[in-house]
């Protein structure tokens, strides 16, 4: 099963162009869709999940035409939206059972077996009689996965699922995603770079509605070998360095500023080679996409 997106575009009524001619081929397994806030990730996820219309383009899931066969797609799709609300005064077991009825599981015995198995799989069986209002953020997200797995879907979409989870819960959630991604398409939309490097064999970076890069995270990291350099500078020097070099990221480190720059060759001996990671890939792409307006704005401000 493969999801093939071709020339997908969407402009909202207020004129915001959320998707610009998006082309993606998403195979079985975990696929990471990485981009900053407002990149268009949720718009793309909602369109694949048949919850909103595109202006043009096509999406195929195997033989299904997603934009025109919504009912059929919904039968094989699980979705964990960004804002996943639960009824606080209902137990996990009861809500999952109710959702299973809505999914068409009418046989009570079968349904109970499915619900129990999903609660086991998501490690919620022990707390199945607890009201959802008393669940932690991580437990709620795992419940979100349990409901997304109802009906054994061929494709699962999870929209920014790890925001707000503590490290232990995030790990547990990652393991769960990995497990369910073995034999179906799982699209993980996130702005957290390490979610993608930890989990995904394929990924895309999206910014302002455009796909900037696709590929295997290890391969795209490899492509940056010997091109990323670091230096510690004073915080007041940052602007100067930004004008002179292609600074892709800067962060405070022990009270000083650590910059990473992109350069085909080492600029001078004060720069040290960096072994690139996915964050360097991400920032290289995002800065490249923003470079033109940013430089002209700086020049305008200086004139
Ligand atoms: N219903 C809507 N009407 C108008 N503009 C919208 C609507 N939904 C989203 N947008 C705009 O479209 C752009 C893409 O938004 P989208 O939510 O798809 O991005 P995102 O990558 O999911 O961001 P985030 O990580 O903040 O959720 C943004 O500029 C957003 O403000």
Q: What is the pLDDT of residues 257-295, one digit of tens each?
A: 999 999 999 999 999 999 999 999 999 999 988 875 555
| Contact yes or no for 246/261 (Cβ under 8 A) | yes
E strands, 66-184, in order: 77-80, 155-159
Asked if 12 and 72 sit in the same domain, the reply is yes
What H or E segment, with its residue span, contains residue 47? helix 41-48
Half-sphere exposure of 142 (CA within 13 A, CB side): 28
- Reference 196, options 274, 276, 278; nearest CA is 278
CA of 15 to the centre of ligand 1 (A): 12
Asked if 18 and 70 sit in the same domain, the reply is yes
For 41-54, write each residue's pLDDT tens digit.
999 999 999 999 99
The values of phi and psi at residue 241, to 5°, are -65, -35
Asked if 226 and 211 sit in the same domain, the reply is no
**Tally of helices (H runs) and strands (E runs) in the chain:** 10, 14
Residue 268 lies in a domain: yes
Is it the case that residue 296 has pLDDT exceeding 70?
no
Asked if 289 and 234 sit in the same domain, the reply is yes
Which pLDDT score is estimated for 186? 95
Mutation to probe ligand 1, out of 41, 157, 208 (largest number of atoms < 8 A from CB): 41
Mutation to probe ligand 1, out of 33, 36, 42, 161 (largest number of atoms < 8 A from CB): 42
Asked if 66 and 174 sit in the same domain, the reply is yes
Residue 246 pLDDT grade (very low, low, confident, very high; cuts 50, 70, 90): very high
| Contact yes or no for 46/52 (Cβ under 8 A) | yes
Domain count for the chain: 2
Asked if 58 and 174 sit in the same domain, the reply is yes
Residue 118 lies in a domain: no
**Of the residues 215, 245, 269, the one at which a domain ends:** 215
CA of 213 to the centre of ligand 1 (A): 20
Question: What would the 3-class secondary structure string for 207-242 be?
Answer: ECCEEEEEECHHHHHHCCCCCEEEEEECHHHHHHHH
Residue 208 sits in which domain range?
3-88+135-215
Which pLDDT score is estimated for 272? 97
Is it the case that residue 299 has pLDDT exceeding 80?
no
Asked if 272 and 292 sit in the same domain, the reply is yes
């Amino acid at each position: 099963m493969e999801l093939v997106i071709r020339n997908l575009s969407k402009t909202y009524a207020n004129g915001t162009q959320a998707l610009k001619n998006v082309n993606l081929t998403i195979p079985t397994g975990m696929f990471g869709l990485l981009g900053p806030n407002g990149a268009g990730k949720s718009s793309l996820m909602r369109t694949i999940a048949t919850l909103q219309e595109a202006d043009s383009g096509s999406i195929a899931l195997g033989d299904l035409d997603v934009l025109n066969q919504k009912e059929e797609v919904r039968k094989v799709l699980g979705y964990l939206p960004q804002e996943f609300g639960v009824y606080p005064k209902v137990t996990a077991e009861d809500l999952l059972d109710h959702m299973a009825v809505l999914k068409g599981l009418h046989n009570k015995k079968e349904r109970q077996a499915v619900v129990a198995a999903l609660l086991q799989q998501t490690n919620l069986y022990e707390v199945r009689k607890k009201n959802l209002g008393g669940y932690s953020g991580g437990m709620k997200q795992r419940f979100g996965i349990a409901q997304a797995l109802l009906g054994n879907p061929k494709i699962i979409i999870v929209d920014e699922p790890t925001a707000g989870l503590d490290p232990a819960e995030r790990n547990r959630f990652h393991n769960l995603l990995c497990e369910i991604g073995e034999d179906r398409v799982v699209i993980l939309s996130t702005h957290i770079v390490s979610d993608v490097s930890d989990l995904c064999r394929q990924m895309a970076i999206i910014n302002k509605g455009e796909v900037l890069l696709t590929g295997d995270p290890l391969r795209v990291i490899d492509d940056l070998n010997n091109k990323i350099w670091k230096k510690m500078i004073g915080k007041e020097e940052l602007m100067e360095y930004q004008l002179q070099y292609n600074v892709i990221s800067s962060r405070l480190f022990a009270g000083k500023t650590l910059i990473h720059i992109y350069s085909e060759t080492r600029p001078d001996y004060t720069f040290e080679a960096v072994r690139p990671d996915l964050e360097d890939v991400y920032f290289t792409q995002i800065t490249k996409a923003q470079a033109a307006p940013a430089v002209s704005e700086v020049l305008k401000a200086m004139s």
